[in-house]
Chains A and B, each alone.
Chain A
Amino acid sequence: MNIAYASSERQALAAADERITPPPEIKDRLDLRAFDLLCLTVACVLAAHIAHLPPWLAAALSGLLLLRWLQRRTQRGQIPRLARIALVVALPVAIVTTYGSPFGRTPGSALAVGLLVLKLLESERARDARMAVGFCCFVLMSALLFTQSLPMTLLVALALLPGFACLRALQPDAQPRRYARAFAPGAWLLLAAMPLALLGFVFVPRLATPLWGAPGADNARTGVSDHMAPGDLADLLIDDSVAMRVGFDGTPPPKAERYFRGVVLWYFDGRAWVPGVAGIRNGTPQPLHAHGPVVGYDVTLEPTKRHWLFALDMPLDAGGGATLDADRTLRRDKPVDNTITYHVDSALQYVLAPELDPRLHRAALEIPQGYDPRAQALAESWRKRYGSDDAAIVRAALDLFRDGGFAYNLAAPPLGRDSIDDFLFGTKQGYCEHYAGAFTFLMRAAGVPARVVAGYHGGFWNDYAHYLLVRQSDAHAWSEVWLRGRGWVRVDPTAVVRRVISAGGGAIGSGSGDEAGNWLTGLRDRLDIVNRLWDRGVVGFNALRQSELLAPFGIPHLEWGQLAIALATGIVVILGIGMLAALRRPSVRPRDALEAAQLRLQAKLARHGCARAAHEGPRDFFARCMLALPHSRVELNALAEAYMSLRYGHSAPPAEPVRNYSRAVRAFRIRGVVK
């Protein structure tokens, strides 16, 4: 046996002997870096939930988080067990006393966030941190049950990054990484996950009906109500949130025509207008004769929790699973709990119900007994003056609003029992619901059938994305009068009012819209494109839209099984690409331009069966190539000479000859290969 080692080898081995250190254990103890990142993750979760946590809980949890972080910085170890137990008991008790029950979305998420922070108090090991990060992901998702808006979703997705960084920091790395670097792996993987995530999102089969009771969105704006009493709309008219977005198939209707009817109010009880008995509303739609162009459009309606949808005057049909009511309003069985999109066709010029059913005729003339005597007297005087000319009575009422000293005022003075008398002869200030209500009352008192319509009017036309943005502040109420031979005619008494005292958000007459706002609201309205895309593309992507996904490719309705096959195929394709990417080796990076040219030459020669072996020096390689490719002998010889002198004749090859060499390599063609 050979026992005579070379002395250098022996020294190396002796050195290896000394280098041996006790193997560093897989760290189970949470180090400070990972703990910091865990705290950051929990803080992000807290931030995502802060909007709907009770203030005391938000403050307590933030304080606890901060204290724990400071404590762990100065001393290792858990919070004393007794304190932890006390907190774990106190949290559910406090939540139950606040909400009355630990179940439901708000108390449930408050409990989850609280438990997460409490978990942090005892997290001392890597295992704890892993569990906490998983829990963080779950609690982050629950924040989306409250709002599905784009900013919230982005916040939640970004909040995954510290979680990933924390998991990464738990890996047994010898050298600590910089904080910025700690986020990089997670960020890259998240970015690379986009295609697969989108595929999953599009093709994961949706449930048509929930497995268990799903809470509706109680964040829905109530929007236009079916109860209109003086002052009811005031809150709505200063609400800037989005009510709906409308994309037109062709050119949008002119501004003055953008009346979206929601609900028709038939019955007046002396104070409030309400829809009235169902027998009047329901039934076959009143006949409609369209004149002029028909406008088709898509409405993306934000959740309202109401049963009715909005359509441009005057809808020809109903969309979105709704039916057309007798008074041509759109009504559906289920309230609008989620963002929905539906398509409607409307006629802008029309004759609605040229013949009026006697029952409707009666209902459209009904006024409560013993209210507003002065208004009734005024209406009767108009009837006497104009005889049977209903249109002249309408004009007289509009003249009154135009020239009678009326003013538009969102902060309308309060009205007494005879609210219409008080308004017409007293305050003379109000907004759409005052005008529409008083006008309709006057018409009915004068014997002209009339009704109130509530809906939206105006909106902001986005010129870049070609859609109409309708906000809650565009809520509006107007009247419809029935004139013999012309049917129901829309009259907007608010539009004739000249004086403006306080306009608020804007539904003043026809003049709601873009030029009224300052540049900031203009900018905001323009940036709404993103929200619209989000709402239509992501939030509104339901089972129905999913089943119509491949309609342009000739599959009108995707079944569950087809979706699953599409999903599986997509996953296989994307994972295949991912695996190819994972299998890719970093290519050999040339040291300099000369080596790059040489590698190109070698690749060229390798294609003709002359691959350079690992042990071959350039001289041997070139010699072998010249033997193998005798027709290119001369060129190869020149290249070999040039390469040798460049590589070995200089410490750093000069730039110009290297460029020449590179050019020669590019020009080099292998000739006359006999295969």
Chain B
Amino acid sequence: MTLFNAAHALRWTAWLERAERRLPALTRLRQPEPLPVELHRRRIYILPTASGVGFGVLLAVMLVGALNYQNNAALLLTCLLGATVINSMLSAFRALHGLRITRIQAGHACAGEPLALQLEFDAGGRARHALCLDLDDATHAFSLDTRGGETTLAMPTERRGWNRVPRMRISSTLPFGLFRAWSWITPDHEALVYPRTLAGPPPPSDQDDGVQRTHGDEDYAQLREYHFGDPLKRVAWKASARHDRLLIRELDSAAHDAPQRFDWAMLHGLDRETRISRLAGWVREAHAAGRAWTLVLPDARVLGPEADNAHYHRCMTALALLP
């Protein structure tokens, strides 16, 4: 059965590919295309929306009624309404026709967080209203003036590294919502996604080990939840027993003004992705707190110590691109 399905799917894909070769307008299978992408008549599709179909049925009823009652004024009204609806179809087409996507700029986001995707448009000399961009079940509405403009939408991210910007649907139901004109865009553009960050314990520092803390286990303010990867020796066992969950003795990290060192080698015993995530988490925390840090990569490349934005992006990019 499964085999049959698989064969079936294969045949279907083959058929689609053949159709794609014959009809390159089938943009669902279109290869990623370089920018700028211009929406022209061969890649804009129009179909009535649900309310458009309903309106069509209504028009048919009106037509039959007007003809049956031999009421010419009603027939004229019906014709006028029908012609306006057809005009609105052309209007929907015009809303997209000639629109050009000139540039795509991806922002930065860690995997699992939405990534800001900025699209720049050339409106082709016309103001464009009520355009919709569908990306992965989310719809984003925007308008452009005659000079064009830009819009930013959120792209969901799954994994770190270079992610291809997914297929997007740009559509418009102007002016009356009776027809939807749409076009698929598969831009040849990749966005760099930073690694997923794991909020974790602060990195073990050299000063940490063997230093007696001045506060005891009772100091709840200094306790926090256990995170995967915390060293067992810092589990506050007594407090954990009282609260039925693992608690960790928090270190007073504010005391550290010296650049922190986030070393790949520190995180042994964890799998590769968790290590990357943990490092990314530390980098992010340090950057948010405005502290300087040094990142040591598995190939012993050392970045830093520095504290600025550029350093942050450099570190995150390096982590994202780790093999």
Residues of A within 8 A of B (CB): 1, 3-5, 7, 10, 12-14, 16-17, 19-26, 127, 130-131, 134, 137-138, 140-141, 144-145, 148-149, 152-153, 156-157, 160, 164, 167-168, 170-175, 185-186, 189-190, 192-201, 204, 206-207, 210-212, 214-215, 338, 538-542, 575, 578-579, 581-583, 585-586, 588-589
Contacts and interface: CB of A to CB of B under 8 A. Distances in A.
Given A193-B87, A201-B76, 15 more contacts: A19-B118, A22-B154, A134-B55, A140-B77, A141-B74, A144-B73, A148-B74, A153-B73, A153-B76, A160-B84, A164-B175, A173-B141, A196-B87, A207-B67, A210-B69
Contacts of B126: 586
B80 A214 contact: no
Nearest to A214: B69
- Top 5 nearest A-B pairs (CB, nearest first) are A193-B83, A172-B141, A586-B125, A196-B83, A200-B79
B79 A197 contact: yes
B132 interface: yes
B154 A192 contact: no
Given A16-B118, A579-B90, A338 B83 contact: no
B70 A338 contact: yes
Contacts of B79: 196-201, 204
A540 B73 CA distance: 10
B142 interface: yes
24 contacts: A3-B314, A5-B310, A10-B310, A10-B313, A13-B105, A25-B139, A138-B61, A140-B77, A141-B65, A148-B73, A160-B80, A160-B81, A164-B176, A167-B176, A171-B129, A189-B91, A189-B175, A201-B75, A201-B76, A204-B63, A204-B75, A210-B69, A540-B72, A542-B72
B259 interface: no
Contact of A145 (B69, B97, B177, B309): B69
Contacts of A167: 175-178
B321 interface: yes
B62 A582 contact: no
A134 B59 CA distance: 9
A214 B70 contact: yes
A170 B66 CA distance: 29
Given A16-B116, A144-B77, A207-B67, A201 B72 contact: yes
Contact of B152 (A19, A140, A149, A539): A19
Contact of B67 (A134, A199, A204, A541): A204
Nearest to B40: A583
A137 B62 contact: yes
Contacts of A175: 143
Interface of B: 41, 51, 54-55, 58, 61-84, 86-88, 90-91, 93-94, 97-98, 105-109, 114, 116, 118, 124-126, 129-130, 132, 138-143, 152-154, 173-178, 309-310, 313-314, 317-318, 321
Given A17-B108, A20-B152, A192-B87, A153 B68 contact: no
Nearest to B118: A16
B181 to A, nearest CB: 11
A3 B118 contact: no
A190 B80 contact: yes
Contact of A20 (B124, B143, B154, B177): B154
A185 B175 contact: yes
B84 A164 contact: yes
Contacts of B41: 583
A130 B51 contact: yes
Of A164, A168, A582, most buried by chain B (CB within 10 Å of CB) is A582
Contacts of B78: 141
B180 to A, nearest CB: 11
B177 A170 contact: yes
B173 A171 contact: yes
A189 B84 contact: yes
Contacts of A212: 68
A185 B107 CA distance: 37
B80 A23 contact: no
A144 B74 contact: yes
B73 A539 contact: yes
B93 A582 contact: yes
